[in-house]
Every structure is written in C-alpha cells, then in structure tokens.
Amino acid sequence: MQNENLRLYFVTGNKSKFNEVSKIFQTQKVKFTLQQLNLETIEIQADNINDVALFKLNSVKDKINSSFFIEDSGFFVDKPLKGFPGVYSSYVFKSIGDEGILRLIDDFEGSRAHFSAVIALYFKPLDKILIFEGEVRGKVSDKIKGKGGFGFDPIFIPDLIPNKTFSELSPQEKNEISHRGQAIRKLISFLKRNF
C-alpha cells in the first residue's frame, strides 16, 4: 500500500486546472503522488480570493485523511471593468463567457487585466495550513484567439508574451508564466524543503 504521508490530493472539480498542475509535478522531482479529488467544496462570496480559498479548504478538511490543497483563482479586468469578474469568474464564465466580457470593453489597447491564484494547502505531517499565491498581468484581446487552455485564456494577452493569448501558448509556456504555475512552484519548493 502507498504511504499515506506521501499522498497529496488536489481537491477540484476543474479537470483543466488539475492537468496544468499535474504537468508541473511531473517535471519536478516531488516525492508526493498527486491525485485529483472531486469533492463538493463550499465557495463563499467574499471580496478577496484568500478568504474564499481558506473557507474552501476548511469546508472539506474533516473529510480527508491526507495532505491536500485547493486552489481559488480569478480573472480580473482592472481597466475598464474595475476588477470584474474577479471572485465571480467561475459563474460569469458559465453565464456570459468570453464573448460577454468582450462586449463590455471598447478600448482593448488601453485595457489591463490579471489572473490571480491562491492555493491553500493542508500539510498533514506538520498539521499546518499554508497559502501560496501567483499573479500574471496583461490585457484583454479584442477577439477570441487560440484553442488551448480553458476559461478566459482565449481573451487574455500576458505582458510577458504580448503577441499571443494564453490559449495560443503551449501548456508548458502557459505554466511558466501563469498565476497557477507560480503558486504551484512555491508549493513544490515548500514540499521539497519539508520532506
């Protein structure tokens, strides 16, 4: 039987998130075996994603007997939408989608946007909760471009690769600069330091 101390669950219903994270784990020498766990979590409507992430973690903590983490992320159109959809990203994507966001914007060149990710980890060997964050800045594309990724990827142009949307990048290229990639690499450094 596998050593339970070396099992790490990523509690998420979003297969695309899991696939991105799992690719990073494969390229790093991590002793932990990563596994997706699709458990119902509770997402409160707070105005910052750190609070959402901690609540989400605590909503399933009693049901899991291993180390595990959850991730809460969002797409923020800082200019001209003052941060919308932000903490409502999941719902807004399902309701109005990428097209709906584009209809709200006139000046794409002058737009600003970012993705944020907060990972909350329950690390069983130390009985501790830890937070890891990542953020990537850019602007909104004037049209939907690319086939890769998920969610708002086809309309986000990162500052670091200013001629492509996230959907036009390979999974590795997106992971190298994305909010999720940054947060996961911090989590992996923690695991390497502590196990």
For the annotated catalytic residues, the residue numbers are 72
Q: Which of residues 42-71 bind ligand ITT (CB under 6 A)?
A: 43, 71
- 134 SS3 class: strand
Single out the residue of 180, 181, 183, 184 in contact with ligand ITT (rule: CB under 6 A). Answer: 180
Indicate the residue among 2 and 170 with the shorter CB distance to ligand ITT: 170
Q: Counting Cβ atoms within 10 Å, is residue 99 exposed (0-12), middle (13-18) or buried (19+)?
A: exposed
Q: Is 72 in the site for ligand ITT (CB under 6 A)?
A: yes
Minimum distance between the CB of residue 62 and ligand ITT, rounded to whole angstroms?
A: 18
Q: Which of residues 15-34 bind ligand ITT (CB under 6 A)?
A: 17
Kind and range of the H or E run holding 146: none
Between CA 75 and CA 60 the distance in angstroms is 25
Which residue, among 136, 107, 122, has the nearest Cα to 190 in the 3D structure?
A: 122
Minimum distance between the CB of residue 150 and ligand ITT, rounded to whole angstroms?
A: 5
Indicate the residue among 5 and 137 with the shorter CB distance to ligand ITT: 137
Whether the ω angle into residue 162 lies within 30 degrees of 0, i.e. cis, is no
Polymer length of the chain? 195
Single out the residue of 68, 138, 153, 157 in contact with ligand ITT (rule: CB under 6 A). Answer: 153
Minimum distance between the CB of residue 1 and ligand ITT, rounded to whole angstroms?
A: 28
Distances, alpha carbon 59 to alpha carbons 37, 40, 90, in Å: 14, 9, 18
Between CA 70 and CA 25 the distance in angstroms is 15
What is the Rg, in whole angstroms, of the alpha carbon atoms belonging to the chain? 17
For the window 127-146, what string marks contact with ligand ITT as x by the rule CB under 6 A? --------------------
Minimum distance between the CB of residue 195 and ligand ITT, rounded to whole angstroms?
A: 24
- Applying CB under 6 A, the residues found at the interface with ligand ITT are 12-14, 17, 43, 71-75, 89-90, 93, 115, 149-153, 178, 180
